[in-house]
Each structure stands twice: as C-alpha cells, then as structure tokens.
Amino acid sequence: MIRKFVQIISVILFNSYLGVNLSKSQFLYQGNLKKVCVPILNCYSCPLAWGSCPIGSIQQSLKIGIIPFFTLGFFGIIGLFSGRFVCGWLCPFGFLQEMLYKIKTYKMRLPSFSRYIKYIVLILTFIIPIFFHEPFFCKFICPAGTVEASIWQLLMQPMLIDSIGFFFSLKYLFLFIFISGSITYKRFFCVTLCPIGAIYGLFNKISLLKLKVDKEKCTECDNCRLNCPMDISIFKNESYFDCIRCMKCIKSCPQHAVTSNLKIFKPKENNSTQEILPEKNH
C-alpha cells in the first residue's frame, strides 16, 4: 500500500500542470521546468507534464549532433544509487501497467528472450537519431506519448486529425499491443520494450541499493515470483537487470529470506502467511 501511495503521488507530481488555455493556444507547459528531465518515462508533450522525458531529450540532442552528457550523467547518478528502483516506485506508466494487469482475464508468462528486446530498442534509440535524424522511440513506438500526449492533443486540436499519417496510425497499433499485453502479461512494456528500464537495469549489479537472499533460509518456493510485478524469481539472481526493487519479495517471502540493505525495507518476522496473487500462468 505504501508503494501504491508513492506511485499515485508520483503521477500527480509529474503531471499536475493546470495552466492549459485553449483560447490562447497554450496546450502544454513550456516554462523553465521543461528544461529538467524527470527520471522516468513521462512524455514532454503531455498537457499536464512539468518536465521532459530523458529518452526524448537524448534523442533530440543526438538528432542535432550534440552528445547528451547531462542526461546520460543523470541516468548514471540515479542508476548508481538505486538501479531500477524508480521503475518500481515512481514511473506513472509502470503504475498504469500494474493496474491493467489486475483486470481479470487470461494470464500468460513472457518467454525469457523477450527481456532482451528492450536492449535492441535502446540501441536503435541511440543510433537512428544520429544517422537518420529521427526520434525513433518517441515517434514510432512510445505508448506513453500516445496515452499522455497524442490523444489529448487531438481532443484539444481536432484540426490535427486531418494530418494523421501512417506513422501516427502505427503508434496507435503499438498502443493496442501495449494495452493487450499489459492486461495479459506482468508489466509487458517494462519487460520487453522500455529503454529507460534497460538503462537502469545495467546498474542493478553495482547500485548502492541491494537485495539479499539468505540461501540457508530460502526454500525456492517461488512465492517471490508469484508476487513480483516483473515475474522474477529473485533467489536465482539478486541483482537481475529486470528487478525494479519494488520490495514485494521481502514482504511475501514466508521464510523471511529476502532482505534489503535499506533498513526501512525489512521482512515482518510475525508474518506467517504467504501473499500469493491468484493467477494462471501458461
């Protein structure tokens, strides 16, 4: 419940600009805060957004031939301190996926190779703006941009509907895939396509925030995976690149075998029951 509360506060914090003025064609905030990157996936063009998306910032810099040292350093500092912690606690789009997964329907597990697709997306996100001067991820894939910006921009400026082309329609196809995938698979976009998660995941092994599994206590019951938003068995790899440090494994482990070096996250020794999410994995 604490994590859900933090996620909701994060959604409001990053998207609370209420200065949209349609009569003056002010469709989004463009003040000084837009020069600052938020640490998560949150579209620059969202009418309610205060800051800029770091992936969008990187692509725009590479597109005009500038190396985005500041944004890369921004990723590095956050990654070194917490790994993918921000994905599990602050990302509005991750929160949306967790809510979609709660819809009662047929559930499936993603194949293990799908976790590496996001690194292909990350490479293309860097290469295509350099050689083809196109913001590849933002323009062709990002469902966050479609949900947070495109839909609302069309509602506020209906005349833009006439300019919709093939690539815009392609983004709506990706949005449909995203919604369907998020209902069926745990954090579908985070696992398979998110370049921000791919970057932070590279720091999980060296970040200051760590998880620890006591091998003597652990019975490998896999209760951690059943409760994990990323469908991970943490006892197999404590620093796995897809671990978002949500800490649900600490709470759900019946043997209290999972701990964190951040002392506020600790197992409840009086917890004698297992928290298992009812689902059917195929």
pLDDT in tens, 165-212: 677 778 888 899 999 999 999 999 999 999 999 999 999 999 999 999
Q: Residues 193, 250: one domain?
A: no
- pTM (two decimals): 0.89
Q: Residues 86, 179: one domain?
A: yes
pLDDT band at 1, cuts 50/70/90?
Answer: confident
- CB-CB contact of 52 with 44 (8 Å): yes
Q: Residues 95, 6: one domain?
A: yes
Q: Residues 56, 165: one domain?
A: yes
Q: Residues 223, 191: one domain?
A: no
Q: What is the pLDDT of residue 258?
A: 95
* pLDDT tens digit sequence for 72-127: 999 999 999 999 999 999 999 999 999 999 999 999 999 999 999 999 999 999 99
77 is in which domain, residue-wise? Answer: 2-201
Q: What is the pLDDT of residue 268?
A: 64
Q: Which of 96, 92, 78 is nearest to 9 (CA)?
A: 92
Q: What is the pLDDT of residue 269?
A: 59
> Looking at the 3D structure of the chain, how many domains does it have?
2
Domain finish residue from 201, 222, 239 = 201
- CB-CB contact of 51 with 33 (8 Å): yes
Q: Is the pLDDT of residue 270 over 50?
A: no
Q: Residues 36, 78: one domain?
A: yes
